[in-house]
Structure 1
Amino acid sequence: MTNMSISAQIEDPISWEINLYETAVEGQIEVIYNASLDPCWHIYSQFLDSDDGPVATAFYNEGNEIIEGVTECEPYMAYDPNFMMDLKYFKEEVYWSSLINMSDIASTDTLKGSLLYMVCDATKCLPPTDVYYALPLSEVNSATSRPDLCPPSKHLCDEDNHGEEDTQGEEEEGGLIWIFLMGFGLGFAALFTPCVFPLIPMTVSFFTKTSKTKAAGIKNALIYGFFIIFIYTALGLLLTATFGVDIMNVISTDPYFNVGLFLLLLVFGISFLGYFEIQLPQSWANKADAASDRGGIIGIFFMAATLAIVSFSCTGPLIGGALAGAATGSFEAPTAVMLGFSIALALPFMFFSAFPGYLNSLPTSGGWLNTVKVVLGLIEIGFAFKFLSNADLVLQLGLLPREIFIGIWIVVALTLAAYLFGLIHFPHDSKGAKISWKRKIVGAVFLLFGGYLTPGLWGGSVDAISGFPPPTFYSIWQHEDEHVEAHYRDYDEAMAVAIAQNKPLLLDFTGWACVNCRKMEEQVWTDNRVSKILNNDVILVSLYVDDRTKLPEEEWTLEEYGGKEFYIRTIGKKWSYLQASQFDRNAQPFYVLLDHNGTQIGGSAGYDPNPDAFLEYINDALAKF
């Protein structure tokens, strides 16, 4: 193969120093391993809670046995976007320490060993790397020169990437706005349920009749609205404080919690259909109603509490959906969604108390309120299956593949259409009621929506609900043109096949622990246009740079490139050196197309989950083959 004339992309964000130090105990010395990292890079602790994430830092003696008792400082514990989990790591300057008993070792000997580590930044990881050392025991430093093993952070990443953090803050702020608007929309929907809508004129009438002046009535109504907002927002904070901020992350990741949430929303949805009512204890409502007779601000507070309790059978299911939709892992999200919900609920009470003349413009209560409730119930049942799908994907049970999920949504949409056209009825519907033209229009919308989803049953595109159904690869039908698998993991073997079939060779430098590699395989390789090329037009070989399988000893070598040593003793190190020495890259995923002489064709590609970007690269390279 030939070297590529491209700018160097070798990343080496860490440097090591390993030294020996005297201790206060005679016949004992201390080995201190010091890693210095570039800003915004981090290295992982020895003690990770899961084997499903990155490679933990480990220390080995000359016999390749792990060294016990290596101490480390208290690591940071934070969410790592590369592995989508909370992990223990260090940044900037980190030290490890172990003690060596010299009683059975001559001072003229050499202490040999190795260590294994993995480093990442916020977007990528480098493959696990070995560092080998040989320390003359005659070169022991004085204990007085021993460094501080737990230095304070210099916050280099915060200072160097202030603009990036500002952008992240803006993104979080934008996310909270959408969560607030979602809560506002659900609160607005709750207004048109049988439990809430009739209370608007009753409550406004109460304030206008019991207040001595119009100004007093408006003031009391505003206080009433404030207490509605206070009660519902406090509820969101109370739930989060009780279960913990991480409960929102649990919603997204824990399969059993997702199953529980599915059952909860399913029960709430069925209750909206009128088969049973979910109510808080009647004694709560009676006590709150009695307390509201006290008058003054305390009485107004208990009036708001009475509204929250008696309307729970209608608002409860919507609150559950709102909190589930606000699953972001912070106090801000449930606060924002409940604030939006309560403001939408409180505004009509405050507005009509200030301008009671507008009450005449409200439609009268009637069967249409139950229709709204049934529609909301069916929609909630449809959304409940999203949480069942989450659990199924995590456990990989195959119970709810993409086509079945879409089929359930089609059934829900057609049920909604049939109900709104008056073809089916539920327990609380008025018998023989005339179907309005407005109701028929909404029914037609759901009918069209069901028709739009139908092609999804056989793999068609349903982009309007992207993100809700399972991914395309989680399917009943095995679409051969969408399934991509690299049949080769050895360069020489794959090149021989490429020559025999007269096709170019596509190198896929990847890793077992590379999350972005999996994202490319799931989001890009499954694109119909990409999969056809990978299956038919190239020979694809996946070279795993973190493969720890040992090479035969006769193949062990020590290579150097770009000032970095490569101890090639494993298959992964062989491919890691190949990538670095031939393409000046050491981050994964990395894709490059070669001709039969091993010469690069066109450019190269890295992580970009946009299939169009990968298509542009591969088509350009193929045109030059």
Structure 2
Amino acid sequence: MKKYLATTLLLFLCFFTGHSQSDNDPATWTHKVQKVSDSVYNIEFTAKIFKDWYIYSLYTAEGGSMPSEFEFVGAGVDYELIGKTEEGKTYTKYTEVFDLDETFHKEEALFKQKIKLLKPDLKQITVNLYYQICKEVCILKEQVFEVSLDGTTFVTEEKTIDDRSAALTNNLKLDLKNSELLEQTELNSVEGSSALWMVFGLGFLGGLIALFTPCVFPLIPLTVSFFTKQSDNKSKGIVNAILYGLFIVLIYFLLSLPFHLFDSVDSQILNTIATNIWLNVFFFIIFVFFAFSFFGYYELTLPNSWANRMDAASTKVGGVLGIFFMALTLAIVSFSCTGPILGGLLGSTTLAEGSVATNLTFGMTGFGLALALPFALFALFPAWLNSLPKSGGWMTTVKVILGFLELALAFKFLSNADLVGNWGILKREIFLSIWIIIFALMTLYLLGVFRFKHDGPKQKLSLTRKGLGVVSLITTIYLLFGTLNLTGLKVLSGFPPPEFYSINENVSDCPLGLNCFKDFDEGVAFAKSENKPILIDFTGWACVNCRRMEENVWSQPSIFQMLKDDYVLISLYVDDRKELKKEEQFDFQYDSGRIKKIKTIGQKWGTFQTINFNSASQPYYALLTPDFEVLNSGVQYVDAITYEAWLKDGLSRYKNSIK
């Protein structure tokens, strides 16, 4: 079990740091060429690796970490490889994560490859290296070597695209008039710091829930009593307990810092993370795994040796540092209960707008604060300890409730993958039916109809448990009525698939049944024929705030009427992984000369948004005339009043422009 848990954590870190870059890369690469004969060359690639970092070998054991891999561009056509790539000094160490010996380089990595030219006049080659460099986190990296075989400076060929790609590149760039209006920010978003505090609040709520689990709750009176009794005087005991609480907050804050070390400079990375199909499937599997741990089928634990070492350190060191190690011991021994809750917090940051790392820091700090508060408060007011309920079966009930909630959240991530991949598996009705089953089962459990194997002896149901059962039953009925379209589901806005993602083939594939275009050129042509302004809706299948805007803001009667009658709606899905037709795929060339392959619908509209509107977030809305005149500022996630005023302003400006 430890092996699978550690693998999970390692993969999670790799996903979130895989596209990162740093001004101070932990490895510096060089290469040199040695001519053996007129047609044979030895090429050496060398990396100077920062202290404590390491790079995996080309030949590390299968089933373990990702090995390094060289791609020799043109091999087999321009030249051939003689033998396998050789390596310099390597180290081998047993890894508990994968239960095998792994091979890696530290301090210096050396690779050698002998080649034989098939084209005598070949002067230069390109070699790509894909590797993983690790310390506390693992970073997926790509290194491009431009190798000159005759010792001269490598000549970079000017990258060009064919005429068809050049034409399609130009078509993607709009000649916007009044584009400076897009830079106005007074209406841009209601998110900002309020969203961060919302994430902090969710983390705090998660910490409060964790307090009532069997791994944490019994430790509160024991720990507080230890500080108040073992200290020389009462005031010192209180100070120590407060320090203990502060260190708990610090530890959970520190856990988020690795995500800041290699903050991405890729404008599309947050969208990539939140809408990556296999990452969402990965989260689905992990959350199901967490849920069944709460159901009592197995227990998640970190290695016992970690807790033993921290406990020994706290005793040996003593003082303030000893208290820190005691707090670290708590974090380790309580992991079987806090781990799945933290997993939910980690996964939820990918559903929130803004920086994943910043959201995570706020959430983890909130979690640590909620976990630490009781230790400080009960140290200040020890008499309160007498009012604490006794440990018992109710804590198992808390874990099972969390298990059902983790299971429900798991299907949200599977739904994201289904929407982005256009699999058609979890249509809205099917998704809601699964949630109905989950909450119905939770209701039956809370009302004592069935039990899990780790439940204690059967006892009379408490009033609290009956109350929770009623709340769960109401939730089940609410979902059922929403599925049957007897009520709306605004409380859950953004979580279920959109209404148009339905098993009913007659349902419009546009939000709220509006008439919309999913191709920009088609929408513009229609706007010209109808003499109406354009509302560009940059959206995403897996965009929670996009669904919230559609279901809570667009659904307002006055706004809906304007969208229906006064505007031409063009909805462009930037996370659509469906491939374009072969004749529509092309190489897009930026003004800098960089070339990007456009193969999917999402790549096309994501690039279109970035180059024309200097934005990479969703939802993002812009108002244009059919002649590409910008009517006012772009907006993102805003309230209904602001959005309605924005639409009216754009409509007024459009009418004035055509007088």
Aligned to 1:470: 497
CA deviation vs aligned residue, 1:50-101 (integer Å, no higher than 9, x gap): xxxxxxxxxxxxxxxxxxxxxxxxxxxxxxxxxxxxxxxxxxxxxxxxx9xx
Task: Report the CA distance between 1:342 and its aligned residue.
Answer: 0.3
Aligned to 2:214: 194
Task: Report the CA distance between 1:289 and its aligned residue.
Answer: 1.4
Aligned to 2:409: 383
Task: Report the CA distance between 1:256 and its aligned residue.
Answer: 1.1
Task: Report the CA distance between 1:201 and its aligned residue.
Answer: 0.6
Distance 1:430 1:449 in 2: 27
Aligned to 1:148: none
1:349 aligns with 2:389: no
Distance 2:382 2:262 in 1: 40
TM-score w.r.t. length of structure 1: 0.56
Q: 1:339 is paired with a residue of what secondary structure?
A: helix
CA deviation vs aligned residue, 1:114-159 (integer Å, no higher than 9, x gap): 999879xxxxx984589xxxxxxxxxxxxxxxxxxxxxxxxx989x
CA deviation vs aligned residue, 1:4-35 (integer Å, no higher than 9, x gap): xxxxxxxxxxxxxxxxxxxxxxxxxxxxxxxx
CA contact (8 A) 2:185 2:633 kept: no
Distance 1:487 1:358 in 2: 61
1:461 aligns with 2:481: no
1:306-385 equivalences under 5 Å are 306-327=329-350, 328-385=354-411
CA deviation vs aligned residue, 1:268-300 (integer Å, no higher than 9, x gap): 111111111010011111111111212212221
Distance 1:365 1:589 in 2: 63
Residue 239 and residue 331 in structure 1: after superposition, are their counterparts in 2 closer, same or farther (change >3 A)? closer
Q: 1:331 is paired with a residue of what secondary structure?
A: helix
Aligned to 1:255: 277
CA contact (8 A) 1:589 1:607 kept: no
The percentage of counterpart residues that share the same residue type is 42
Distance 1:221 1:157 in 2: 56
Residue 508 and residue 204 in structure 1: after superposition, are their counterparts in 2 closer, same or farther (change >3 A)? same
Aligned to 1:304: 327
Task: Report the CA distance between 1:533 and its aligned residue.
Answer: 9.5
Aligned to 1:445: 471
Counterpart of 1:207, as a letter, is F
Aligned to 2:237: 217
1:413 aligns with 2:439: yes
CA contact (8 A) 1:483 1:526 kept: no
Distance 1:169 1:529 in 2: 22
Distance 1:541 1:380 in 2: 37
Aligned to 1:273: 295
CA deviation vs aligned residue, 1:339-390 (integer Å, no higher than 9, x gap): 1100100010111112211100100000001111110111111011111111
Residue 304 and residue 526 in structure 1: after superposition, are their counterparts in 2 closer, same or farther (change >3 A)? closer
Residue 436 and residue 242 in structure 1: after superposition, are their counterparts in 2 closer, same or farther (change >3 A)? farther
Distance 1:485 1:220 in 2: 63
CA deviation vs aligned residue, 1:459-506 (integer Å, no higher than 9, x gap): 452111000011111111134463747799999x999xxxxxxxxx84
TM-score w.r.t. length of structure 2: 0.53
Distance 2:253 2:492 in 1: 30
Aligned to 2:307: 285
Task: Report the CA distance between 1:235 and its aligned residue.
Answer: 0.5
Counterpart of 2:384, as a letter, is Y
CA contact (8 A) 1:266 1:380 kept: yes
**Unpaired runs of at least 5, structure 2:** 1-157, 159-165, 573-621, 650-659
Task: Report the CA distance between 1:320 and its aligned residue.
Answer: 1.3
Counterpart of 2:280, as a letter, is N
Task: Report the CA distance between 1:179 and its aligned residue.
Answer: 1.2
Distance 1:320 1:234 in 2: 16
**Unpaired runs of at least 5, structure 1:** 1-98, 100-113, 120-124, 131-155, 496-504, 545-586, 593-603, 618-625
Distance 2:534 2:372 in 1: 54
1:508-519 equivalences under 5 Å are 515=538
Aligned to 2:462: 436
Task: Report the CA distance between 1:507 and its aligned residue.
Answer: 5.3
Distance 1:457 1:333 in 2: 32
